[in-house]
Amino acid sequence: MLDGTDETLVATVDRWLAAFEGALKGPDTAPLAALFHADGHWRDLLAFTWHITTVSGAPTIRDELMRHAAAVGAAGFTVDRQRTPPRRVKRVGREVIEAIFRFETALGRANGVLRLVPDRAQGGALKAWILLTALDEIKGCEEPLGDRRPKGESYSRDFRGPNWLDQRQSAAAYQGRDPTVLVVGGGQAGLAIGARLGQLNVDALIVDRERRIGDNWRNRYHALTLHNQVHVNHLPYMPFPPNWPTYIPKDKLAGWFEAYVDSMELNYWTGTEFSGGTYDQESGRWTVELNRGEGKTRTVHPRHIVVATGVSSTPIVPEIPGLANFGGRVVHSSQYGDSTEWKGRNALVFGTGNSGHDIAQDLQSNGANVTIVQRSPTLIVSIEPSGQLAYALYGEGPPLDDCDLLAMATPFEPLKQAHRMLTTQSRILDKPLLDGLERAGFKLDVEDDLGWQFKYLQRGGGYYFNVGCSDLIADGKIKVVQYSDLAGFVGEGARMRGGDLLRAELIVLATGYWGQEHLVRKLFGADVADRVGPIWGFGAEDQELRNMWVRTGQPGLWFIAGSLAQCRIFSKYLALQIRACEEGLIPALRQDQRARQKAPVTLSRWRPLAAEADASAAIGPMAN
C-alpha cells in the first residue's frame, strides 16, 4: 500500500496535475507521454473532445490530448477539496491513489478523476493509469441550482397576471410554438433527459403512448421489482426518500415517476403516439406528426429528437415452426398480465432471461404447473450477493455525484478485467445453486467470463438474477426442457421428440425485443438508419457504446437508454451537447463521424424443432 497522510496525497496529486497542465502547454510532447503508464487510459466526457471517447496507450493519449489542447485551453487543474478527498483504494486488483479534481476550459468548468500507480520500470514514479476528464457546465449556461435557484413568484407577484399553474399549463400545451427538443418515451430515460434539459433552459416536450405517467412500469407483470438496490437508482436532482425499500416495486417506481414529472415541471404528453419524422437539412428542423388519440393529431417541428424508448422496445415474436397447431393462448412476455386465472393449469414459458424466469415464478406461485423451455445456455447470478458486486463503489461512502464520476472513470479495458474478476467471484459464491440447476437439466453459460453486465452492454440481456426461480427449478417445482428436444406442437401442448406430451393451455414467449436499429428504420426510414448505424453494444474498435448519448450521423437525432443509473449519469452529458448545439458551440453532426457499417434488420427465426438449438443465440429479453 502506498504511504502518506491525506495532505500528502493531496500534494502528490496536485504535483501530477501541475505537471500535466504544464505538459499540455509546452511545445515538447515527451513530458506528456511520460506522465502516463504504457497501458494507461484517458476517457473524455466532452471536456476536450465534445464527445464521449476513450483512448489507450501513452503515445496515443499524448497525441489525442495535444490534438485538442490548444483549442480547449484547459487550466487550473487542482484537487477538488469540496469532494471526496484523495485516497488509497484498490481498483481492478491494483492499488491506486484515486482523486477527484477540477479545472476550467475556454468554454466550461470541468472535473475529473485521476488514478495513479507506481511505474516499477521507472523507479516507482507515480504515473496515471486512468485519467477521466468530464465537462460539468458550460460558462453562461449554468443550472439554476443552490444559490442560483430562481426566486419564483413569491418575490414579485403579479396579481392580475397568470399564476404559476397557469404558466405551467400554457407551457405544456405548446399552443402556437414548437418544442426545441422532442423526447420520445417517458420512462427513466425520457424523464432524466427532460429534467436535465429543463435545468439548462432548453425547451423539451416528452411524449409517451401510455395513458398515464409511469405505465411503462406499472403495466408490467404483477410481482416485478428492480433487480439492483435503491441507492444506485436515483433520478437526477431528486433522490428517493431514505425510507424506501432496498428493491423498489414497479408500482412504487411508477408513482414516483408521476411525482417527478410534477416536481421537476416537465412538459409531458401521455396517450401520444410518435409515428416518425422527416428532417429538413436547410432549416435544421424535423417535421413530426403526433397522434394524440380520438382522431386528434399535432404537427411539431423540433430541432432535436431524443429517442428514449429503451435499449429494447419492440417485442420479438419469433416464427416458431408448428406453433400455429397449438390450441391454447400464446402471448409475448410484454403482454403477460394476471397469473391468477392459470391456477391449476399448465403453462410453457419460452425464454430463460429475467422476464422468462420471473413470469415462470409468478405462474408457479399462483398455482400453475410451469415448464421453462430453454433454447441456449444462460448466465445465472444470485441477486445477493453476486448481483450487487458490480455496485460496490456505491457502498464505499462517497456521495452519489462522486460515485457517478468515479464509476465513469473505469474505461472499457479495465472494466472488462473487473468483470472477469467479479464473474469468477460470483461463480464461487453461487456454486451450490449452479450445481443444483445443472442436476435439474438447466444449461449454464460457463464460457462467457465477462458476466452479466457485459451481456447487458452488448445485447441487453441473456442472463437471470435469481430471486427464487432458480431454486424452484433446482427443486423440481418448475420443470425445464430444452428446445432442441421438442418435436412439434399439437392442440394440447408440445410433443417431445421421445413421444411424451407437455400439456399446456398457455405459452408465454419471453423471447426478447428488437434493438433500436429496428425502431429507427421503422420510424425514420432506411437512409437515416444507415447514416446512424448500430446503436448500443461495442464494435471491433469501439471502447464506448455505439451512438448512445452523443451526436450521430443524423443531425438532430439522439439516443438515450439503459438502467436508471445510466440514464441519470449520461443524461447530463447528452443535455450539455444539445445546449452546446443551441449555443452554436458545436455542430449538430459529429465532424469525425466514422464510416459505419450498415445495420440491416433481419427477421429472427427459430430453427425447425428437429434441429439442434443454436447455442450462440440468446432468447432472453432485456433485464430490468
> pLDDT tens, 1-37?
344 458 899 999 999 999 999 999 988 888 999 999 9
In a domain, 534, yes or no: yes
What is the percentage of the chain residues whose pLDDT exceeds 90? 72
The CA-CA-CA angle for residues 285, 290, 292, to 5°, reads 155
| Cα–Cα dist 514/517, whole Å | 8
| 375/485 same-domain check | yes
- Is pLDDT above 90 for 256? yes
SS3 36: strand
In a domain, 147, yes or no: no
| 499/526 same-domain check | no
Q: What is the DSSP string of 596-623?
A: ---------BPPPTTSPP-TT---PPBP
SS3 481: strand
> pLDDT tens, 597-606?
333 333 333 4
> pLDDT tens, 297-309?
999 999 999 999 9
Band of residue 462 on the pLDDT scale cut at 50, 70, 90: confident
| 189/130 same-domain check | no
Peptide bond into 315 cis (omega under 30): no
Closest CA to 431 of 449, 444, 448: 444
- Is pLDDT above 60 for 461? yes
Angstrom CA distances, 153 to 164, 264, 384, stand at 7, 17, 49
Number of domains the chain is built from: 3
Q: What is the DSSP string of 181-226?
A: EEEE--SHHHHHHHHHHHHTT--EEEE-SSSSTTHHHHTS-TT-B-
How high is the pLDDT of residue 468? 93
What phi and psi, each to the nearest 5 degrees, are found at residue 369? -95, 115
> Is residue 579 a contact partner of residue 141, using CB atoms and an 8 Å limit?
yes
| 448/537 same-domain check | no
| 194/238 same-domain check | yes
Q: Which domain holds residue 485?
A: 317-401+426-510
- Is pLDDT above 70 for 152? no
| Cα–Cα dist 397/401, whole Å | 11
| 107/188 same-domain check | no
The separation between CA 40 and the C-alpha centre of its own chain, rounded to angstroms, equals 26
- Is pLDDT above 50 for 556? yes
In a domain, 44, yes or no: yes
| 497/536 same-domain check | no
How high is the pLDDT of residue 521? 93
Determine whether 25 is exposed, middle or buried from the number of CB atoms within 10 Å of its CB (0-12, 13-18, 19+): exposed
| 243/115 same-domain check | no
> Is residue 472 a contact partner of residue 364, using CB atoms and an 8 Å limit?
yes
How high is the pLDDT of residue 154? 55
- Is pLDDT above 60 for 386? yes
| 131/239 same-domain check | no
Q: Which of the listed residues 510, 528, 559 is the one where a domain comes to its end?
A: 510
CATH number of the domain residue 93 falls in:
3.10.450.50
CATH number of the domain residue 467 falls in:
3.50.50.60
| 334/481 same-domain check | yes
> Is residue 588 a contact partner of residue 581, using CB atoms and an 8 Å limit?
yes
How high is the pLDDT of residue 285? 97
- Is pLDDT above 50 for 609? no
pTM across the whole model: 0.90
In a domain, 452, yes or no: yes
> pLDDT tens, 263-316?
999 999 999 999 999 999 999 999 999 999 888 999 999 999 999 997 666 788
SS3 399: coil
Round the average pLDDT of the chain to a whole number and report it. 89
Strands (E) in 365-427, as ranges, are 369-374, 379-382
How high is the pLDDT of residue 498? 93
In a domain, 413, yes or no: no
345 versus 388: the higher-pLDDT residue is 345
In a domain, 162, yes or no: no
109-139 in b/e burial notation, b at 16+ Cβ within 10 A?
A: bbbbbbbbbbbeeeeeebbbbbbbbbbbbbe
CB atoms within 10 A of CB 31: 14
| Cα–Cα dist 246/354, whole Å | 19
